[in-house]
């Protein structure tokens, strides 16, 4: 299991998970369980606890997005938004525009290649 797998699982909402083939855990099994960070510390994402002040309407927007999606963590959503922003800053605007143009031109080629009825 890698970090991407954990992030995908973290973003899943309960209604998307099929529990039909998972038997319920017994009390004995639950008593012997350890936190994942103790069993596989290298797999647990390295996150730092901080205190940050954000506008109330910003927090509310992220919470609303999570609610509309059916559940999840607004903090993970904020983290993902920040990560996406950082990744965008790494790519020069010219490269992004070229990629968008390539994708659009490909769509036009596909559309033009389709026979008209």
pLDDT, position 43: 65
Measure Cα distances from 7 to 1, 34, 76, 77, 96 in Å.
11, 20, 9, 11, 25
Q: Which residues contact 79 (CB under 8 A, 6 or more apart)?
A: 47
Range of the structural domain that residue 107 is part of: 3-113
pLDDT digits (tens, 9 = 90+) for 52-71: 999 999 999 999 999 999 88
Question: Distance between CA 74 and CA 81 in Å, rounded?
Answer: 10
- The model's pTM is 0.44
For the chain, what is the domain count?
1
Mean pLDDT of 15-36: 86
Question: Distance between CA 72 and CA 13 in Å, rounded?
Answer: 6
């Amino acid at each position: 299991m890698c970090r991407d797998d954990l992030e995908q699982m973290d973003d899943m909402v309960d209604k998307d998970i099929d529990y039909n083939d998972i038997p319920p855990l017994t009390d004995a099994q639950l008593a012997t369980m350890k936190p994942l960070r103790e069993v596989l510390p290298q797999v647990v994402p390295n996150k730092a606890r901080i205190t940050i002040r954000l506008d109330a309407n910003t927090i509310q927007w992220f919470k609303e997005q999570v609610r509309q999606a059916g559940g999840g963590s607004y903090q993970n959503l904020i983290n993902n938004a920040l990560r996406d922003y950082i990744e965008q800053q790494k790519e020069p605007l010219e490269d992004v525009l070229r990629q968008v143009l390539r994708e659009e031109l490909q769509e036009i080629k596909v559309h033009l290649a389709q026979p008209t009825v």
